[in-house]
Chains A and B, each alone.
Chain A
């Protein structure tokens, strides 16, 4: 299970990279593996704002629909629109090409360290 050391995580299996006031969000390797082949991603509009804990989009595999939750509040400054034509990037490179959204954060959040997230995954399986 790939859980990079330089990222933070949520219990709902998103990863977050905080750089200054920008948070880049995607779903973890474990999450994409559980979902299976991702075939559709519903992205928010740039400029939309979300509170921490709010759903900002969905990821769909062949069989399942999964909501995406932002662990931090803020305004969407960029979406990975390449996913509209290549949703499989989420399976192939969840922490790189498969990033989903960038937010300008307005509040902090209670994020998990890689070690804490590993425990979450272990408890679920």
Chain B
């Protein structure tokens, strides 16, 4: 029952064969779950899960001014990245509001910037408009790549059996070109779950075979539902929830991805320096529900009669078995507040982030 006008990733037939529940996500018909969100979530925490994230966008910067162009566009200082290293970064407007959050890969001679599917067109336009004066080409290679995310404590073991690339040499946020079961791939030790794991960039033709091999090897297919609960437990931002044009990366708690002291100026730097000096207008906090109920995106946060913020994401945490959430609140808010769920203020308490941190042995 293909829905009209929706795009499909190269793994679409695999999802149908596995009986996935498919939903519209950023214009793609994507699997939200296969066996069930909690079972898939637990598979990633305890063993290995496999996600199709081919809907993500890939922009490649090439040309003599490539590094200057990327430096201007992203908040991270990419001069500090080695070839073969990736970095999480924000992309900002002049006023400090966030265009997107991205991963920048420094390759030999070019940069690959991976963007959120829902922001692909907007980002490409922003990238090109703001680098018109430079000698750089920005190519949208989104349709040339399938992207699989293999995540969980067993991920490295499963993948090592299918590749000659020595994964023990591949540290977090490093990547290498290699082959997986004979298919050329960029193997990147990155992810969005709080677990060890890999993101595998593959040609659309090879991706279904590699997907099936990884499942045969014991990875559990996991959908966007589990991807969301996993990233939330790990305290990671989702664009459109924690980050948007009205929220700066400093407010959303990702200052580790912002190099305010970067010498080559970047778009939004002045506004972020000012906010850093004058203090945040709002800030991201994590909380646990003390009373019964699950906080959801958009619920108000109150302190007595006063509205002091808004929930950006909330769920029942499968790992902690508690209702948890993230909220953008007024700075200086007390550690106890209420989440207004269907007109009822329900007590919640602030907790430190992340909610879940893997045991690194």
| A interface, CB within 8 angstroms of B | 36-37, 39-40, 42, 58, 60-63, 65, 84, 125
State the Cβ distance, B58 to closest chain A Cβ, in Å.
27
Cβ contact within 8 Å between B38 and A42: no
Cβ contact within 8 Å between B225 and A39: no
Cβ contact within 8 Å between A62 and B292: no
Cβ-neighbour of A60 out of B1, B33, B294 (below 8 A): B294
The residue on B at minimum CB distance from A39 is B316
* B360 contacts the other chain (CB 8 A): no
Residues of chain A within 8 A of B315, CB atoms compared: 62-63
Question: B28-43 toward A: CB 8 Å interface, digit per residue (1/0)?
Answer: 0000110011100000
| B interface, CB within 8 angstroms of A | 1, 21, 32-33, 36-38, 225, 228-229, 292-294, 296, 315-316, 318, 323, 342
Given contacts A62-B38, A62-B225, A65-B296, 11 further A-B contacts (CB under 8 A): A37-B37, A39-B38, A39-B316, A40-B292, A40-B294, A40-B316, A42-B292, A62-B37, A62-B318, A63-B225, A63-B315
Cβ contact within 8 Å between B316 and A62: yes
Cβ-neighbour of A36 out of B37, B318, B323, B342 (below 8 A): B37
Alpha-carbon distance between A39 and B36 when the two chains are bound, in angstroms: 12
Alpha-carbon distance between A62 and B229 when the two chains are bound, in angstroms: 8
Known: A62-B225, A62-B229, A63-B225. A37 touches B293 (CB 8 A): no
Residues of chain A within 8 A of B36, CB atoms compared: 36-37
Known: A62-B38, A62-B315. A39 touches B33 (CB 8 A): no
State the Cβ distance, B316 to closest chain A Cβ, in Å.
4
State the Cβ distance, A44 to closest chain B Cβ, in Å.
13
Alpha-carbon distance between A65 and B311 when the two chains are bound, in angstroms: 15
Residues of chain B within 8 A of A36, CB atoms compared: 21, 33, 36-37, 225
Alpha-carbon distance between A40 and B32 when the two chains are bound, in angstroms: 19
Cβ contact within 8 Å between A37 and B342: no
Alpha-carbon distance between A28 and B342 when the two chains are bound, in angstroms: 24
